[in-house]
Amino acid sequence: MSRPETSHLFYQSRQRRPMLDQARGVYMWDVDGKRYLDGSSGAMVCNIGHSNPRVLGAMRKQMDKATFGYRLHFETEPAEFLAAKTASLAPEGLDKVFFVSGGSEAVESAIKLARQNAIAIGEAGRYKVISRDPSYHGCTLGALALTGYAPLADPFEPMMRVMPKIPAPRAYLDGLDPDDEATGRHYADMLEQKILAEDPETVLAFIVEPIGGASTGALVPPRGYMRRIREICSRYGILLIHDEVMSGGGRTGRFFAAEHWDVDPDILVISKGFAAGYAPLGAMVAHKDIVANVLDAGGFLHGFTYAGNPLACAAGLAVVEEIEREGLIRNAADTGALLKSELNKLMDRYSIIGDVRGEGLLLAFELVEDRATQQPLAKELNAFNELVDIAYENGLIIYSRRTRGGHSGDHFLIAPPMISTADHVGEIIEGLDLSLRQFLDRISQ
């Protein structure tokens, strides 16, 4: 069958990608039989690998019963059990789970719940949600207003109320030591300064990716940062929202990334790895007191038709059970440590690698012109597309973004599924080594 002209792609097709045929474990095959190692789990989604038979079995079982039950007509077992399971994994007190179908919807839900809570407790003057730059919180207008990535947001500025931003704590760019408490304090105190500048009585919440995703390239906060952020939010009566859309679900070596610092938010959001690509699913998980305030004041003015879809929830429940049964969080920590040390060895050999960072299997490296100054590669080199395309030709899928305000700086996320082994790490490093050599050859011509 010949391929029809594309009518569903809404981006410039530099190069149409091959048609996917099938995917199993960490590998994917196109219709010509070429094999790819999924070194980024899609977009950091397919955490337990592709075509897991137990998850597919659980979904088939649910499909034979019912694939839809509208939330105002029925409750469903998969939604109830998954909500209970999620609450049991979430920090103390965060036991109310609001299902959605993706990350942007989860973020929208979090900021609207926070706003309704403020009104319910007589603090209607609070509406500003401070976020960081760079950051990514989604592409719907509410989430976009928080996203610190100007090229995505600028065209829509007249249509939304852009929210205040503070710099993300990129110590490696500022020449600061991330292991020094003073560095964490330096960046966290920017939040307090921003709150004071905006008028504390108008600030509703602060949203943060505990370990950064595509926007910062797996940025791990400096020592003491997360705890001080929590203290500052509590001091001013501001809700702390953790965006764990990418970092949640185990890939950093903890189910929620914030567990690395033992810091609890008031609301958290999760999506990508939650149903790990088996179905569109996300959730907002909120502290029971916040939900009680909103319900007592008349109810949450928010909801989506597909929320709590039983098929998606059956997939999510089976994914979480698979993670526990197979010890995949431990594996993400161990295999991630091995992969990071191998990436560091690559950095020793390639001076264009300016930084290697991340935790567990949410890792990234950044390409630079000069490691000492962290000067980015020339924009014309288009490194963030070129290296991805070369790796793709070599059968390795990686994920890239241009950072630093979206105008320069190229980083690459290396985030294979949590089922990855030492052999897969070897294959990834071999593929990267070859691809970096070919990239260097290309730019030296």
Where does this chain bind ligand PLP (CB under 6 A)? 102-104, 107, 136-138, 209, 213-214, 243, 245-246, 271
- The distance from CA 257 to its chain's CA centroid, rounded to whole angstroms, is 10
As measured in angstroms, the least distance from the Cβ of 241 to ligand PLP is 11
Closer CB to ligand PLP, 102 or 431, in the complex: 102
d(CA 396, CA 104): 28
As measured in angstroms, the least distance from the Cβ of 278 to ligand PLP is 14
d(CA 389, CA 410): 14
As measured in angstroms, the least distance from the Cβ of 258 to ligand PLP is 13
Closer CB to ligand PLP, 401 or 424, in the complex: 401
As measured in angstroms, the least distance from the Cβ of 298 to ligand PLP is 28
Closer CB to ligand PLP, 48 or 218, in the complex: 218
Strand duo 353-359 + 282-286: pairing = unpaired
Residue nearest to ligand PLP (CB): 103
End-to-end CA distance of the chain: 40
Closer CB to ligand PLP, 342 or 359, in the complex: 359
Q: Would the CA dihedral through 130, 131, 137, 138 be positive or negative? A: positive
Tokens 């597909």 found at = 306
Tokens 């109320």 found at = 161
* DSSP state, residue 25: B
As measured in angstroms, the least distance from the Cβ of 219 to ligand PLP is 11
As measured in angstroms, the least distance from the Cβ of 140 to ligand PLP is 7
Q: 130 has which bridge partners? A: 206
Closer CB to ligand PLP, 76 or 271, in the complex: 271
Closer CB to ligand PLP, 140 or 438, in the complex: 140
User: Residue 170 to residues 212, 225, 399: CA-CA distances in angstroms?
Assistant: 11, 12, 20
Residue (of 212, 201, 185) closest to 131 by Cα position? 212
Neighbouring C-beta atoms of residue 79, cutoff 10 Å: 23
The residues near 370 (Cβ < 8 Å, ≥ 6 apart) are none
As measured in angstroms, the least distance from the Cβ of 17 to ligand PLP is 19
Closer CB to ligand PLP, 104 or 309, in the complex: 104
- The distance from CA 78 to its chain's CA centroid, rounded to whole angstroms, is 24
Q: Give the strand order in the sheet containing 203-208.
A: 96-100, 282-286, 267-270, 239-244, 203-208, 128-133, 165-167
Closer CB to ligand PLP, 306 or 350, in the complex: 306
As measured in angstroms, the least distance from the Cβ of 424 to ligand PLP is 23
For residue 311, the one-letter residue type is: L
For residue 83, the one-letter residue type is: A
d(CA 79, CA 93): 19
d(CA 29, CA 221): 37
- The distance from CA 26 to its chain's CA centroid, rounded to whole angstroms, is 19
Closer CB to ligand PLP, 232 or 362, in the complex: 362
Q: Report the largest interatomic distance among the alpha carbons of the chain, rounded to a whole angstrom.
A: 67
As measured in angstroms, the least distance from the Cβ of 306 to ligand PLP is 13
As measured in angstroms, the least distance from the Cβ of 137 to ligand PLP is 5
Closer CB to ligand PLP, 100 or 390, in the complex: 100
